[in-house]
Structure 1
Amino acid sequence: MDSKIDLLVIDDDDINIFIIKKIVEKTGYNINMVAKTNGQLAIEYLSSLSENGERFPQLVLIDINMPVLNGWEFLEAYDTLGVQDRVDMYMLSSSVYENDIEKAKTYATVKGFISKPLSINKLIELFDSLSQ
């Protein structure tokens, strides 16, 4: 297993980002966490990694409701990047709408839907699944 896991969190809520960062620290994993506050910033970040031949995050947590580019729009833009790296993406949302959960299933890049708040056990489960 890779000694370090690269995690990208796309969420416009600074408090959520802070909480996720604290949970990440408690998992005991060696995590390089990058946070972007909207989908557009995340696309620019991933484009830059791609152009520079840098390693992509193995895990991406995506909020749905954000300004500029929301979670769904991020996924549409991501698909146009033509990235071949295996990236595990999860929608992370406070939305309880069944149609959001169903919509997440229509994206090949999305592995699942996680309701906020993110728990330490769920995060450890995600990290563990990366090493398989």
Structure 2
Amino acid sequence: MTHFDTIFLVDDDPINNLINKRLLGKIGISENIVEFLEGEEALDKLNDFEPQHSLLIFLDINMPVLNGWEFLDKYLELYGHRSDKIVILSSSIDYQDRFKAQGYEIVSGFLEKPLTLGKIEEIRNQGIL
């Protein structure tokens, strides 16, 4: 499994972030897992990392202030030169959201909440991790 320098959890639900942080911490793909309740904070924090810093971002779609789609648009505008892995992690079961996500080349995968060891294995088998 790929090791990342940092993992961002971008979700407005602190309980989801806590659970996901513990799960990801157990499998050891990064020692540095950072939680964000707002997408804007995560985008600002990206300024602290060099482009070669390996970063995995788990991104929720439905968030106040800046939703996941707006996050992706701003990410492309500001950080399109980076090679981070972005996986959408959402409670949405709407096929249109999956289809829309496929339109973003920077989105490596789309998972439905909750994040589980099985889903992590699934994206690992797809070559995302």
Q: What interval of TM-score do these two structures reach, taking the shorter chain for normalisation?
A: 0.7 to 0.9
| TM-score, with length taken from structure 1 | 0.83
The question of 1:122 aligning with 2:119 is answered yes
Q: Post-superposition shift, 1:84?
A: 2.2
Give deviations 1:6-49, integer Å, cap 9, x for gaps. 11110000110011011112213343101111111111111x22
| TM-score, with length taken from structure 2 | 0.84
Task: Say if 1:29 and 1:56 are closer, same or farther in 2 by CA, change over 3 A.
Answer: closer
Name the count of aligned residue pairs: 128
**Equivalent pair of 2:2/2:29 in contact (CA under 8 Å):** no
User: What one-letter code is carried by the residue in structure 1 that aligns with 2:55?
Assistant: Q
Q: Post-superposition shift, 1:125?
A: 5.1
Tell me which moved more, 33-42 or 115-124: 115-124
In the alignment, structure 1 segments of 5+ residues that lack a partner are none
The question of 1:32 aligning with 2:32 is answered yes
Give the corresponding residue for 1:74: 71
Task: Say if 1:4 and 1:102 are closer, same or farther in 2 by CA, change over 3 A.
Answer: closer
**Equivalent pair of 1:88/1:111 in contact (CA under 8 Å):** yes
| Secondary structure, counterpart of 1:76 in structure 2 | helix
Q: How does 1:30-109 map to 2 (within 5 A)?
A: 30-46=30-46, 48-50=47-49, 53=50, 56-109=53-106
Q: Post-superposition shift, 1:112?
A: 1.4
**Equivalent pair of 2:4/2:56 in contact (CA under 8 Å):** no
Task: Among all aligned residue pairs of Structure 1 and Structure 2, give the percentage whose two residues are the same amino acid.
Answer: 37
The question of 1:14 aligning with 2:14 is answered yes
In the alignment, structure 2 segments of 5+ residues that lack a partner are none
Q: Which of residues 105, 109, 127 in structure 2 aligns to 1:112?
A: 109
